[in-house]
């Protein structure tokens, strides 16, 4: 009987640890997107409203800020971002468009909407949700193909 009780206790502890790990992973993914929102907004503020065109461009900006950076080293690599899309906190339409996604935790993924809000969606919902529009490429000069 004591063996059975120990086994039941061990299984219960492992299940509890799994739940704690899942909660920690969700919080980490959510915080990375919140930090991205801040850095993305700051980048636009410093650059006349222009959004970062690439991860490298935002990473250089973040590193230039040193101790003021919100994104932790390595966090940017865990995110999928629609580079070049404008973060627009004032647009009513922006809240329905996905600008970035974090790592999936189970069947859910944290998403940063184009209005800067962060929420959870199922992986399927996130894949079907409208994506933030990237600006049109600049027109080519005449005679250039």
Under 8 Å between Cβ of 49 and 113: no
Q: Could you tell me the pLDDT band of residue 142, with boundaries at 50, 70 and 90?
A: low
Q: State yes or no: pLDDT of 26 exceeds 60.
A: yes
Q: 99, 134, 133: which is closest to 119 by C-alpha?
A: 99
Is 2 among the domain residues?
A: no
Is 33 among the domain residues?
A: yes
Is 41 among the domain residues?
A: yes
Is 6 among the domain residues?
A: no
Q: Which pLDDT belongs to residue 76?
A: 84
- What are 113-127's pLDDT values in tens digits? 999 999 999 999 999
Is 7 among the domain residues?
A: no
Is 60 among the domain residues?
A: yes
Residue 81 C-beta-side C-alpha neighbours within 13 Å: 27
Is 133 among the domain residues?
A: no
Under 8 Å between Cβ of 99 and 114: yes
Q: How many domains does the chain have?
A: 1
**Cα distance between residue 1 and residue 119, in whole Å:** 46
**Cα distance between residue 30 and residue 52, in whole Å:** 21
Residue with the bigger pLDDT between 33 and 11: it is 33
- What are 55-109's pLDDT values in tens digits? 999 989 988 877 677 877 788 888 999 999 999 877 766 578 999 999 899 999 9
Q: Which domain holds residue 90?
A: 23-128
Is 98 among the domain residues?
A: yes
Q: Which pLDDT belongs to residue 10?
A: 55
């Amino acid at each position: 009987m004591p063996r059975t009780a120990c086994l039941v206790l061990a299984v219960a502890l492992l299940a509890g640890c799994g739940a704690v790990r899942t909660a920690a992973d969700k919080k980490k993914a959510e915080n990375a997107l919140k930090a991205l929102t801040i850095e993305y907004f700051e980048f636009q503020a410093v650059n006349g409203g222009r959004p970062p065109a690439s991860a490298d461009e935002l990473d250089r900006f973040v590193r230039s800020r040193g101790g003021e950076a919100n994104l932790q080293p390595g966090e940017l690599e865990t995110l999928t971002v629609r580079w070049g899309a404008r973060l627009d906190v004032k647009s009513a339409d922006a809240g329905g468009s996905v600008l970035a996604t974090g790592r999936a935790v189970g069947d859910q993924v944290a998403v940063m909407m184009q209005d800067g809000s962060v929420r959870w969606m199922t992986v399927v919902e996130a894949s079907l949700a409208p994506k933030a529009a990237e600006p049109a490429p600049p027109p080519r000069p005449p005679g250039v193909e």
